[in-house]
Chains A and B, each alone.
Chain A
Amino acid sequence: MNAKKRSKYAYFYIAPFFIVFLIFSLFPILYSFVLSFCDMDVLSGKFTFVGITNYKRMVESGYFFQSIGNTLLIWIMSIIPQLTIAFVLSLILSNKWFRGKFLLRNIYYFPNLVTPVTIGLLFGALFSYPGGAVNNVISMLGLEAVDFQNNQMLARMVIAIAICWKNFGYNIIYFTAGINSISEEVMEAAQVDGANGWQRITKITIPLMKPILIYVMVTSIIGGLQIFDESKLVFTSVPGNATTTMVKYMYDSAFVRFQFGYGAAVAYGIFVIIAFFSLVSLRVTGDKKDDYGKKREGRRSKLTRK
């Protein structure tokens, strides 16, 4: 039997996926685009075409830009400690003499699996005022209890801590895979040449890990721009909506204030922002040469080459 005759079965195999894809992925995306030019009447549910009014309002009202600012602030406050701690710990865990790697790695990683809803509630309760667990510790130290929820910056910080807590273990596993992919020969050669542990880290591991570090840093922004669960759940109300992220703003517009047309416009606004950062990250990470002048083949091949 020839391959041509069999090829008709291929359509049978891809049919379920593409039918669902067309109906429940592609159509909603296009439909959202149409809706973003419409305004919905809350009572009748009818849509009327309003042109670019929604987009104009999005740009002019300032709330959307404020939500971008909130998102970026929360992202920066979570990503810097998250990557620093994860990198230092993955260096520590890669030492041969270190005992208890298995247990520690599991403790570090487990928060990543906890339901985001639970993380939201848990951090809301931990940092509540005046009787939260953190405030109890602060009071014990003889300091005054802090009202985290009603301070814009502190409220953002609590959300950043929650995200950092959730993700740093993931990055440890990721970095460990990167460190393990550095060839033994390079390390042994350095050892023969008399490099001590500190020199091996600063002169070999860090330079060789730099592309991975930059990659994780830049690409994590795409996930960071989509923070929603923590923003919605940690604190119920923060002055000036200081913790409202872009996706939370979209959700509020559509599903709390029932402005579906405007919400769809915000969804496309978010898309533009994410596309912009994706392009920047492609430029930063793509087509780079590593320190030996060898072209990087991308992070997948780098990691599988254990």
Chain B
Amino acid sequence: MKKTLCRILVYLFAFFVAAAAFYPFFVMIISSTHDNYNIVAKINVLPGDKLKDNFDRLTQNIDLTRGILNSLMLAVVVTVVQNYFTMMAAYAFSKFQFKGKNFLFSVVLVAMMLPGQLGIIGFYKEIQALKLLNKYFTLIIPTISNCFAVFFYKQFLDGALPNELIEAAVVDGCAELRIFHRIAIPLVIPALVTQGVMTFIGTWNSYLTPLIILNDKKKFTLPLMIATVRDATHADYGAQYVGMLVSVVPMVIVYAFASKIIMEKIAIGAAVKG
């Protein structure tokens, strides 16, 4: 009897927190279908019929499709470029003996501990001097220097790729890059997928760097556009909520496919926040 009561209380608590966690989403979804008077004046529980109106007012102010396409393009390109080149560096650290290896790897380890904002002003001034402001290049190429990814891949390669396999390929006369592409990469696909999903989400969500680099509205990523919605629409809450809703939908899709990968990454690689 006491046990049952206890369990009911536990369930109540767990569902109460779940309800609290879902509440902001609930407000967002429901409010996006109401007009501004309803949003401000009363508590809405049932969906209204103003979604289309809100959406139209939002798209009058910002080019939503463009923002989504920009963000998507950027996230995909960064994911490919960053993971390809960091994997290359990790492969060298894991499978080669070369002069300066230990020194260079400790540089990677030390750089991992530096906070991201330390060099941002120098970065901005450098980019300005190189005339690279407002270019996607600036948001793509510098992401190659992700030390977390190099560290993560090196750990994985150490375990997943036997030296004998590479030696056998060398004896058979396989060209170096071919070994990397045909032997190393296929064996580390799980790590690539895990880290790739993280890169994708991180790029999709990133705000500070695009904020200082991009100033042409046509090049804005989705987060930058969403951030301007409040200024562009004044007190138009209906349009704002639709904008937020649109920014959440892609993450729901990613999560539907990758939730297991994301959870595993947190559980195993918790020490390597990347």
Question: Which residues on A are within 8 Å of B, measured CB to CB?
Answer: 1, 3-4, 6-14, 16-18, 20-21, 24-35, 85, 88-89, 92-93, 95, 97-98, 100, 104-111, 113-118, 120-126, 128, 130-131, 133, 136-137, 140, 165, 168-170, 173-174, 176-177, 222, 225-226, 228-229, 233, 236, 247, 250-251, 254-255, 260, 263-264, 267-268, 270-271, 274, 278, 298-300, 303-304
Contact = CB atoms under 8 A, between A and B. Distances in A.
Contacts of A88: 13
A123 B98 CA distance: 52
Interface string B99-135: 1010010010001011111111111111000000000
Contacts of B11: 98
B145 A24 contact: yes
B148 interface: no
A29 B141 contact: no
Given A13-B91, A116-B205, A122-B28, A177 B267 contact: yes
Contact of B98 (A7, A168, A271): A7
B142 A20 contact: yes
Contacts of A116: 205, 207, 223
Contact of B227 (A9, A233, A268): A233
B43 interface: yes
Interface stretch (B46-54, B57-65, B186-194, B241-249): B241-249
B93 interface: yes
Given A95-B10, A106-B259, 5 more contacts: A6-B96, A7-B98, A14-B92, A16-B85, A271-B115
A88 to B, nearest CB: 8
A31 B243 CA distance: 38
A9 B176 contact: yes
A154 to B, nearest CB: 17
A121 B230 CA distance: 8
Contact of B125 (A117, A168, A260): A260
Contact of B268 (A3, A24, A270, A304): A304
A168 B251 CA distance: 18
B18 A247 contact: no
A27 B266 contact: no
Contacts of A8: 98
Contacts of B136: none
| Centre residue among B107, B115, B247 by max chain A CB count within 10 A | B115
A20 B84 CA distance: 14
Contact of B247 (A117, A228, A233): A117
A278 B113 contact: yes
A35 B14 contact: no
Contact of B40 (A4, A131, A274): A131
Contact of A174 (B240, B247, B266): B266
List the 9 closest pairs (A to B, CB-CB), nearest first: A131-B40, A31-B122, A28-B119, A32-B122, A10-B96, A28-B122, A24-B142, A13-B92, A17-B89
Contacts of B161: none
B55 interface: no
A267 B144 contact: no
Contacts of A28: 119-123, 126
9 contacts: A6-B170, A7-B98, A12-B176, A32-B123, A115-B248, A122-B28, A125-B241, A226-B117, A267-B121
Given A113-B254, A251-B208, A121 B121 contact: no
Contacts of A298: 271
A118 B212 CA distance: 18
A17 B145 contact: yes
Interface string B36-79: 00011111000000000000000000000000000000000000
B118 A267 contact: yes
A18 B118 contact: no
B150 A17 contact: yes
Contacts of B91: 13
B171 A170 contact: no
